[in-house]
Amino acid sequence: MARNAAIHLGRRGLGALATGLAMAAQARAQSADPLPSWRPGPRKQALLDFVAAVTREGGPDFVPPPERVATFDNDGTLWVEQPAYTQLIFVLDRIRALAPRNPDWQQDPVFRAAIEGDIRGAVAGGSEGLLRLVGAAQAGQTPEAFQLIVSNWIGSARDARWNRRYDELVYQPMLEVLAYLRANGFITFIVSGGGVEFMRAFSERVYGVPPQQVVGTTMALKPGEQDGRIVLTRESHVDFIDDGPGKPVGIARFIGRRPVAAFGNSDGDYQMLRYTTEGAGRRFAMIVRHDDAEREYAYDRDSHIGRLDRAMNEAPGRGWQLISMKNDWARVFPG
Amino acid sequence: MARNAAIHLGRRGLGALATGLAMAAQARAQSADPLPSWRPGPRKQALLDFVAAVTREGGPDFVPPPERVATFDNDGTLWVEQPAYTQLIFVLDRIRALAPRNPDWQQDPVFRAAIEGDIRGAVAGGSEGLLRLVGAAQAGQTPEAFQLIVSNWIGSARDARWNRRYDELVYQPMLEVLAYLRANGFITFIVSGGGVEFMRAFSERVYGVPPQQVVGTTMALKPGEQDGRIVLTRESHVDFIDDGPGKPVGIARFIGRRPVAAFGNSDGDYQMLRYTTEGAGRRFAMIVRHDDAEREYAYDRDSHIGRLDRAMNEAPGRGWQLISMKNDWARVFPG
């Protein structure tokens, strides 16, 4: 049958056939082990079983491809969030870079701390002070110009502990989960407290997640005109916080469909995990627990960043998979 | 080569091969005429030329598939918007249905007009009155429950002039454009002043546009809990209006990428069309002009709904394709 059909294939048909063959090759490669950086065990198996169940046509748990929505938190789930959120480090670097043009910032203790690279001092002003820093560091440009600034920063800034770029401090096992789900017809979304335009500056290149599949915290955008062109300007106030109870709101607003699988690491993901697994039919939720001080960090209930307490307590009762970074991951970073 | 490769195909490989063959068949079918409901002429040719140019690998205008973002207005561009927006007819029907449970509405002239089916009286209260009707008709449910209400209404309500369901009053030539662009690697989005959850109730079935690719006006969502489950409730106030200058904002916010092609029909699309064609590289914009009173409606500069004035004046200078429904469309509706 394939041979007869091939006779009728035109130039575009051959392209489509090549696509088919490439997909076949991909399918073969994946039948080996789609998650090579995961150690065998019940958590890895739970994910494999879930995907097998929801993709089995005619099976009781089958989910049609358009409904295979999977959502991923970013900080602490896809990349490192210690000793401070990467976006906070970006904000402080940016405040330092802009300081010469803003001499009045020296009069403000929060800004002075930021300029001096004193993270503790910069966050001592609480969320009010932090929002002022975030506003000053991230406002005034078009979304495109801002993403270029972020992109350039990501290309040069380095984490102090590993001397690696921040986009190299992503978790290899989670990159494999993203690719594995997509290969099985899932649509992968990022749903994170991070700034949406900050994440869009690298999400496609690093995670394979295009901008329209990134849901995050947003700063207000003001439409205007400049030199005869429409220009959108990032204002200095946050108009939606995509964290905690905001995550189901962000999902409903941007995606419009309840996820069948969700991945998080902290209590900021608690509502997203619940919103996912409270849906009808088979669902899957996973929590990355940071218990590996040697290869990454160990923190949970008492951490100021990525606190994991309530979600961990309720994980067993809700059927959420609690991943041990130390035991379940054969490797942490790519390369 | 195809035969050798086929020997190695497993069960999933055969599925992929079948997909390849199906795509080849699709490609063959489309090489005939992807837009059979469009009469030959310069406007049809302009669209064909644009798609050929941006999909020609190695060509000067090539746009990689992830950047092939195309945005479509809904009311008046994909379906009929006269004699009143379909969503307004839904709102009035819903007010009537809820009236017995809300006897106090009889004291309010705007609500009384709505209950009596008097569209003129219902809109006489201006946008303030209209927003109260919209709030009363569309608030209080979860997004899922609201979409079910809309879906049931669409399944039963009928337009008075044609005695057809509203989802049958979509424009066949535009359905062909949606399919044609998708077949050429475009991602199609709806960007409309209509309510996002109203449109999501039928966009996937009718237009092939999944919920995450629908950008629209939003009502605030309030997160809460009920019977041990997370529940989002639609509040009665609108928190984002995706019309006019709001369209570029909605595009930047939800899509995160400037479209390369945009389709509209009124001055409410003016900013979206500009935002699209002011981008660098080859771009395409099209305006559906309603000049066919016999088969549909004829209206432009003086219409209260779908007013087309400034966008029409500037179309030639900006290189926007101004479509004549009467001359360019061989047929208007499907079936």
Do the Cβ atoms of B24 and A17 come within 8 Å?
Answer: yes
List chain B residues with CB under 8 Å of A256: 143, 196-197, 200, 211-212, 214
What is the number of structural domains in chain A?
A: 2
| Residue A94 is assigned to a structural domain of this protein | yes
Nearest Cβ partner of A27 from B16, B20, B249?
Answer: B16
Give the residues across from B223 on adjacent strands. B232
Do the Cβ atoms of A66 and B210 come within 8 Å?
Answer: yes
pLDDT at A130: 86
| Residue B18 is assigned to a structural domain of this protein | no
Confidence of residue B22 (pLDDT cuts 50, 70, 90): low
Asked if B264 and B273 touch (Cβ cutoff 8 Å), the reply is: yes
Look up the pTM and report it.
0.90
List chain A residues with CB under 8 Å of B189: 212
Per-residue model confidence as pLDDT tens digits over A123-151: 887 888 888 999 899 999 999 999 999 99
Does B245 sit behind a cis peptide bond, omega within 30 degrees of 0 on the bond before it? no
Do A288 and A316 lie in one domain? The reply is yes
Do A92 and A74 lie in one domain? The reply is no
Per-residue model confidence as pLDDT tens digits over B254-292: 999 999 999 999 999 999 999 999 999 999 999 999 999
pLDDT at A222: 97
Do A173 and A311 lie in one domain? The reply is yes
CA atoms within 13 A on the CB side of B208: 13
Do A193 and A233 lie in one domain? The reply is yes
List chain B residues with CB under 8 Å of A20: 16-21, 23
List chain B residues with CB under 8 Å of A273: none
| Residues contacting residue A171 through CB under 8 Å, at least 6 positions apart | A77, A78, A79, A288, A329, A332, A333
Do A149 and A268 lie in one domain? The reply is no
Nearest Cβ partner of A223 from B3, B15, B248?
Answer: B248
Taking Cα atoms as reference points, which of A219, A225, A239 lies closest to residue A147?
A219
Q: How far apart are the C-alpha atoms of B226 and B224, rounded to whole Å?
A: 7
| Residue A61 is assigned to a structural domain of this protein | yes
Tokens 């001397």 sit on residue: A163
Min Cα distance B266 → chain A (Å) is 18
Asked if A193 and A216 touch (Cβ cutoff 8 Å), the reply is: yes
CA distances from B36 to B33, B55, B169, B289 (A): 6, 21, 18, 19
Per-residue model confidence as pLDDT tens digits over B227-241: 999 999 999 999 999
Do B206 and B269 lie in one domain? The reply is yes
DSSP per-residue letters across B52-89: HHHHSTTSTT---GGG-EEEE--BTTTB---SS-HHHH
Cα angle: B35, vertex B40, B42; to 5 degrees:
105
Do A270 and A298 lie in one domain? The reply is yes
| Residue B3 is assigned to a structural domain of this protein | no
Do B280 and B233 lie in one domain? The reply is yes
Confidence of residue B20 (pLDDT cuts 50, 70, 90): low
Q: How far apart are the C-alpha atoms of B268 and A240, rounded to whole Å?
A: 25
Do B188 and B283 lie in one domain? The reply is yes
Do B53 and B67 lie in one domain? The reply is yes
Confidence of residue B19 (pLDDT cuts 50, 70, 90): low
Query: Considering B108, B130, B156, which residue would you say is the last residue of a domain?
Result: B156
CA atoms within 13 A on the CB side of B69: 25
Do B95 and B51 lie in one domain? The reply is no
Give the residues across from A324 on adjacent strands. A289
The secondary element (H helix, E strand) that includes residue A328 is: helix A325-328
DSSP per-residue letters across A43-86: HHHHHHHHHHHHHSTTSTT---GGG-EEEE--BTTTB---SS-H
Q: Is residue A95 classed as helix, strand or coil in its secondary structure?
A: helix
Confidence of residue B23 (pLDDT cuts 50, 70, 90): low
Residue ranges making up the domain that contains A142: 86-156
Query: Considering B108, B125, B156, which residue would you say is the last residue of a domain?
Result: B156
Give the residues across from B170 on adjacent strands. B79
| Residues contacting residue B315 through CB under 8 Å, at least 6 positions apart | B287, B321, B322
- CB of A29 within 8 Å of a chain B CB? The answer is no
pLDDT at A124: 85
| Residue B12 is assigned to a structural domain of this protein | no
| Residues contacting residue A46 through CB under 8 Å, at least 6 positions apart | A284, A321
Mean pLDDT in chain B?
91
Per-residue model confidence as pLDDT tens digits over B193-212: 999 999 999 999 999 999 99
| Residue A19 is assigned to a structural domain of this protein | no
Min Cα distance B72 → chain A (Å) is 16
Mean pLDDT to the nearest integer, A245-271: 98
Mean pLDDT to the nearest integer, A93-112: 95
List chain B residues with CB under 8 Å of A64: none
List chain A residues with CB under 8 Å of B204: 66
Distance of CA B169 to the CA centre of its chain: 13
Query: Considering A139, A156, A173, which residue would you say is the last residue of a domain?
Result: A156
Do the Cβ atoms of B253 and A218 come within 8 Å?
Answer: yes
What DSSP designation does B241 have? -
Mean pLDDT to the nearest integer, B305-323: 97
Q: Give contacts of A 215-274 with B, CB under 8 A.
A: 218, 221, 223, 229-230, 232, 245-246, 248-249, 252-258, 271, 274
- CB of B6 within 8 Å of a chain A CB? The answer is yes
Q: How far apart are the C-alpha atoms of B89 and B95, rounded to whole Å?
A: 10
| Residue B241 is assigned to a structural domain of this protein | yes
Asked whether the predicted pLDDT for residue A36 surpasses 50, the reply is yes
Do A180 and A301 lie in one domain? The reply is yes
| Residue B23 is assigned to a structural domain of this protein | no
Q: Give contacts of A 175-204 with B, CB under 8 A.
A: 187, 189, 196-197, 200, 204
- Of chain A, the percentage scoring pLDDT greater than 90 comes to 84
List chain A residues with CB under 8 Å of B275: 230
What CATH number did the domain enclosing A184 receive?
Answer: 3.40.50.1000
